[in-house]
Amino acid sequence: MEVRKSFHEQLDELYAETLRMGSDLLQTIEMTRLCFLNIDRELAEEIIAGDDVFDAYIDRLEEGGLELIARQAPVAVDLRMIIVIMRMAQHFERMADLCEDIATAVKYIPADYLSAWIREAIDEMARRATRLVERSIECFKERNVEMALELDAMDDAVDKLNRRFFKEFDRGREEDLEVAVRVVMVARFFERIADHAVDIGEHVRFMVEGTISPT
- pLDDT for position 1: 44
C-alpha closest to that of 11 among 67, 55, 93, 51: 67
DSSP 11: H
At the fourth CATH level, the homologous superfamily of domain 2-209 is Phosphate transport system protein phou homolog 2; domain 2 (1.20.58.220)
Which tens digit of pLDDT belongs to each residue from 102-135? Answer: 999 999 999 888 888 889 999 999 999 999 999 9
pLDDT per residue, tens digit, the chain (215 aa), is: 445 558 888 999 999 999 999 999 999 999 999 999 999 999 999 999 999 999 999 999 999 999 999 988 878 889 999 999 999 999 999 999 999 999 999 999 998 888 888 899 999 999 999 999 999 999 999 999 999 999 999 999 999 998 888 887 765 444 577 888 899 999 999 999 999 999 999 999 999 988 765 44
**Which pTM does this prediction carry?**
0.91
Helix (H), strand (E) at residue 161: helix 145-168
- pLDDT for position 178: 83
- pLDDT for position 214: 47
- pLDDT for position 215: 44
Whether the CB-CB separation of 65 and 215 falls below 8 Å is answered with no
Give the span between the Cα atoms of 33 and 193, in whole angstroms. Answer: 12
- pLDDT for position 15: 96
Give the span between the Cα atoms of 172 and 184, in whole angstroms. Answer: 13
Which tens digit of pLDDT belongs to each residue from 24-49? Answer: 999 999 999 999 999 999 999 999 99
- pLDDT for position 205: 93
